[in-house]
Amino acid sequence: MNTNEPTFHRAFGTYGIYYNEGKLLVIHKQGGPYTYRYDLPGGSLEDFETLPDALDREFQEETGLTVRSKQLLGTFEFFLQSDWHRASHLHHIGVFFRVLEAIGERSVPKTFDGQDSTGSSWVSRTDVEASNASPLVLKAFDYLKNPETDKLTRVQDWIVRQEAIPCTGM
């Protein structure tokens, strides 16, 4: 096998865009390709779980909030050239929902094996950039500005952070 050939890892999940008073609710990621960056609340599905149910569960686990109302926005794809998960490329497929209403108090995420969020915060568009946010967060802001935005994003030379960098709210 030629080690210069591209290898792929495919990830699939459901994610919530909760936008209120000019700010987006994000989580503080501590695992995966978006480690030490802001990311959208959400993640992978469990066995026999529907997309809306997965969003509700992940949102509650990562933020403490309970989703009361949501709207399906569609499927967004991200191709990242990276060295994450022993692959040269990541194909991340995300089904995005607009969270219209959530109740409860934001809290520290539930602790369990596999939890990769350490908290959540509200950020404005001026708070985020590629160095401190996942492509999903950047795409969410693009979508909020223009719902006709391209649902495909390609990122060259994505760096998986090995340590935290100073950024607002983390």
Residue-level pLDDT at 170: 45
Instruction: Answer whether residue 46 is part of any domain.
Output: yes
pLDDT tens profile 51-82: 999 999 999 999 999 999 999 999 999 999 98
Query: Is 49 a member of any domain?
Result: yes
In a domain, 1, yes or no: no
Q: Is residue 80 part of a domain?
A: yes
Q: Is the pTM of this model over 0.85?
A: yes
Which structural domain range is residue 46 located in? 8-155
What pLDDT shows up at residue 101? Answer: 96
User: What is the Cα–Cα distance from 100 to 106, expressed in whole angstroms?
Assistant: 16
Whether residue 164 lies inside any domain: the answer is: no
**101: CATH:** 3.90.79.10
* Domain tally, the chain: 1
Q: For 96-125, how does the pLDDT look when each residue is reduced to its tens digit (9 = 90+)?
A: 999 999 999 887 666 666 667 888 999 999
Q: Nearest to residue 41, comparing CAs of 104, 139, 117?
A: 117
Q: % helix / strand / coil in the chain, to the nearest 5?
A: 20, 40, 40
| Residue 162 covered by a domain | no
Q: Would you say residue 160 lies in a domain? A: no
